[in-house]
Amino acid sequence: MVAYLLIHVGKQFLDITEQEEAERKIRELSERLAERMASETEEVRIEEARGRIASTDIFSPLDIPPFDRATMDGYAVVASDTYYASEDNPSMLVVKARIQAGDAPSIGVTRGFCAGITTGAPIPEGADAVVKIENTTEHDDNVKIYKPVAPGENIMPAGSDIKRGEKIVKRGSMLTMRDTGVMAACGMTRLEVRKKPRVAIISTGNELLMPGEDLTPGKIYDVNVRTLSDCVRACGSVPVSLGIARDRRIEIENKIVEGLKMDAVLISGGTSAGGGDEVPGAIADLGEIILHGVDIKPGKPFVLGICDDKPVFGLPGNPTSALITFNLFVAPLLRRISGLETRKTGDSQRRIARAACRIFSEAGRNEYVMVRLVAGGDGLLAYPILSGSGAITTLAKADGYIYVEKGREIIEEGAVVEVVPLP
């Protein structure tokens, strides 16, 4: 069991946590939660299985192919009837039957006889090879064979692709179209997968309206429910929007209580140290605060709490800050408890660029600088976007962000940088 420290929240950050320590705490929490979530499964149809996580090893219930089958159009023969066949001295056999793919042959083949056969058709009893049709000529149900074949030639034996009882999917793997194709070939229609975590999403703020409502003076439309919902979905989880809570402690607490019916709660806004920032206090009233404040920019007022043994994340309300803190702290936990690879969203798509100009960073904090990528003469150039973490244009223009570790105050023009795409 992970031990947690209860912090009484006032109107200030009581303890700014270093980013590495915050990530360590989240890793510990995610490991414990992942064990619990791994036992929660559901049955889905194979049509819905792609991208899901297999909850058990899956074994083939039958041989694939389930019978010996022809891999060429031609004639099913007893191989020894063809051993001395040549262009000058062809073997002569009598065609006893015609077998097509999907047939169930009732007539066997003996020496001196053969059966016409198409690709994929079952090999009749007694036959042990298939002569390619291009090495034969036929007239009045008599076929001349001009080239010998060896036993087993042009035949795919039963179980040569997949044997009955063979493991076809490993527990914990993400199902791909190849996996679902193999399961379909085995006749499977349903399977057990890990249940997707459900994540409650709440925006806070007196100024917010949901898109579609009439825009009145002093109000703005909420962005975070939409963007965070898509981020949650990309992490193998199911977003559940609980709408907007006003900046009142009781209203926020009621939303959190409703959200605790899910597996995790994600709140944006109200996490700082101002007079209207009620989220940390609401979390503390319902459970305990693990951390409040991280040494990063943007995203300093990030909050992590535990309520009813479930994680409650408080993200800054600024859209860019919310996305960066989601990527750094929320995405790894959601991916872990979903059964996905535990990496930050966008890590696998990092791109190399050069700083298009000098980039300045605040001393004493790790900083994530939003950038726009432009093709240059010898590669990509990264231009910093200076409109701020609260500007919608920052999201619209940004291709990603670069990491500037604390202590480094300047990235010189032309320096090589890694750009992480936004979630």
Residue with tokens 């053969």: 114
- Residues 78 and 7: their CA atoms lie apart, in Å, by 83
255 in Cβ contact with 245 (< 8 Å) = yes
Same domain, yes or no: 293 and 206: yes
**Does position 136 have pLDDT exceeding 70, yes or no?**
yes
Cβ neighbours of residue 73 closer than 8 Å, sequence gap 6 or more = 117, 118, 119, 132, 133
Residue 11: inside a domain, yes or no? no
Same domain, yes or no: 223 and 280: yes
Residue 63: inside a domain, yes or no? no
Residue 406: inside a domain, yes or no? yes
Same domain, yes or no: 331 and 366: no
Same domain, yes or no: 301 and 264: yes
Same domain, yes or no: 130 and 170: no
Looking only at the bridges linking them, the beta strands covering 198-204 and 264-268 are parallel
**Does position 420 have pLDDT exceeding 60, yes or no?**
yes
Same domain, yes or no: 308 and 364: no
Same domain, yes or no: 186 and 205: no
Query: Tokens in use for 397?
Result: 């223009």
Q: Which domain holds residue 110?
A: 69-156
Determine the straight-line distance between the first and last CA of the chain, rounded to whole angstroms: 31
Query: Phi then psi for 2, rounded to 5 degrees?
Result: -80, 135
Looking only at the bridges linking them, the beta strands covering 351-355 and 69-70 are unpaired
203 in Cβ contact with 271 (< 8 Å) = no
Q: What percent of the chain has pLDDT over 90?
A: 81
Arithmetic mean of pLDDT, 276-299: 93
Range ranked top by mean pLDDT from 6-10, 242-246, 272-276, 419-423: 242-246
Give residue 11's pLDDT band: very low, low, confident or very high (50, 70, 90): very low
Give residue 254's pLDDT band: very low, low, confident or very high (50, 70, 90): very high
Residue 104: inside a domain, yes or no? yes
Residue 147: inside a domain, yes or no? yes
Lowest pLDDT segment from 22-31, 114-123, 386-395: 386-395
Arithmetic mean of pLDDT, 58-69: 96
Q: Which of 317, 338, 359 is the last residue of a domain?
A: 338
The CATH number given to whatever domain includes residue 383 is: 2.40.340.10
Give residue 125's pLDDT band: very low, low, confident or very high (50, 70, 90): very high
The CATH number given to whatever domain includes residue 87 is: 2.170.190.11
Cβ neighbours of residue 152 closer than 8 Å, sequence gap 6 or more = 128, 129
DSSP 3-state of 183? helix
Residue 245 β-bridge partners:
204
Omega within 30 of 0 (cis) for the link into 319: no
User: Could you tell me the maximum CA-CA distance found in the chain, to the nearest angstrom?
Assistant: 101
Q: What's the Cα-to-Cα distance from 272 to each of 12, 262, 315, 330, 347, rounded to whole Å?
A: 8, 25, 9, 18, 28
Q: 3-state secondary structure string, 42-109?
A: EEEEHHHCCCCEECCCEECCCCECCCCEECCCEEEECHHHHCCCCCCCCEEEEEEEEECCCCCCCCCC
Q: Which of 338, 361, 382 is the last residue of a domain?
A: 338
Residue 10: inside a domain, yes or no? no
The one-character DSSP state at 356 is S
Same domain, yes or no: 75 and 138: yes
Residue 327: inside a domain, yes or no? yes
Number of domains within the chain: 4
Q: Please give the helix or strand (H or E) that residue 321 lies within, else none.
A: helix 319-325
Same domain, yes or no: 113 and 209: no
The CATH number given to whatever domain includes residue 298 is: 3.40.980.10
Encode burial over 241-256: b for 16+ CB neighbours within 10 A, e otherwise.
bbebbbbeeeebbebb
Residue 85: inside a domain, yes or no? yes
Sign of CA dihedral 152, 153, 154, 159: positive
Arithmetic mean of pLDDT, 136-144: 96
Same domain, yes or no: 296 and 383: no
Looking only at the bridges linking them, the beta strands covering 91-99 and 142-145 are antiparallel
Arithmetic mean of pLDDT, 97-117: 96
Looking only at the bridges linking them, the beta strands covering 155-156 and 167-169 are unpaired
Same domain, yes or no: 211 and 334: yes
The pLDDT assigned to 346 comes to: 54
Average pLDDT, the chain: 91
Q: What percent of the chain has pLDDT over 70?
A: 92
Residue 43 β-bridge partners:
192
- 29: alpha, beta or left, given left = phi > 0 and alpha = psi -120 to 50? alpha
Question: Count H helices, E strands: the chain?
Answer: 8, 28
* DSSP conformation letters of 137-156: EEETTEEEE-S---TTTTEE
Same domain, yes or no: 214 and 274: yes
Q: Which of 338, 367, 391 is the last residue of a domain?
A: 338
Cβ neighbours of residue 62 closer than 8 Å, sequence gap 6 or more = 164, 186, 187
The count of other CB atoms within 10 Å of the CB of residue 210 is: 13
